Amino acid sequence: MASARVGAEGDLRLIALIGRGDLQAFETLYRRYEPRLTRFLHNVVRQPHIIEEVLDDTLMVVWDRANNFKGESKLSTWIFAIAYRKAMKALRRYDEPMEDFGAETRQSADANPEEEYGHKRLHNLLRIAMQSLSPDHRAVVDLTYFHDLGYREIAEIMDCPVDTVKTRMFYARRHLKKCLEGELPDWI
């Protein structure tokens, strides 16, 4: 918990410096958030050609509007909310889905062949199941399980009531369970 508090305090210091036009503080914040935002956007957008554009648009808003951050939420919540809205806007502009064919061939350097096969099979099953979810349902699942955010923060990011987030999570879990039924227990 102490490291999370230190990280949050560091984020607040960085956003204050960015609000004063400190480019070095922006570069530090960019490096800190770029991997998390890229992963989040990849899971929500699922169109590689859009991810970088949305990431850049998101961080430009952070640069341009750093003074608008009032501290009513965590900085990460504010940034993820911007990213989510930019992603939804981009999805409305681009309706041509693109598959990331390279994702299936990427290998972990740490896993042995048997583990790699099991991870690859599990990953493929989850990827296929996640693709069948709507962008809103994917966002809820991603923010919950990969970014450890609570329903209130997710509701703030997605600009919807907490009950809507809970409902989306319920239906997403039910759908994923149904898609993975009979397959997943063999590999866990």
**CATH topology classification for 2-93:** Rna Polymerase Sigma Factor; Chain: A (1.10.1740)
CA 57 to CA 62: how far, in whole Å? 9
Question: What's the pLDDT tens digit per position in 94-142?
Answer: 755 556 666 667 665 565 677 677 767 777 777 788 888 899 999 998 8
CATH of domain 111-186: 1.10.10.10
What six digits make up the tokens of 30?
């960019």
Q: Where are the alpha helices (DSSP H) in the chain?
A: 2-19, 23-45, 48-64, 75-93, 113-131, 135-145, 151-158, 162-180
Domain range annotation of the chain: 2-93, 111-186
**pLDDT exceeds cutoff 50 at 31:** yes
Q: Can you give the pTM of this predicted structure?
A: 0.59
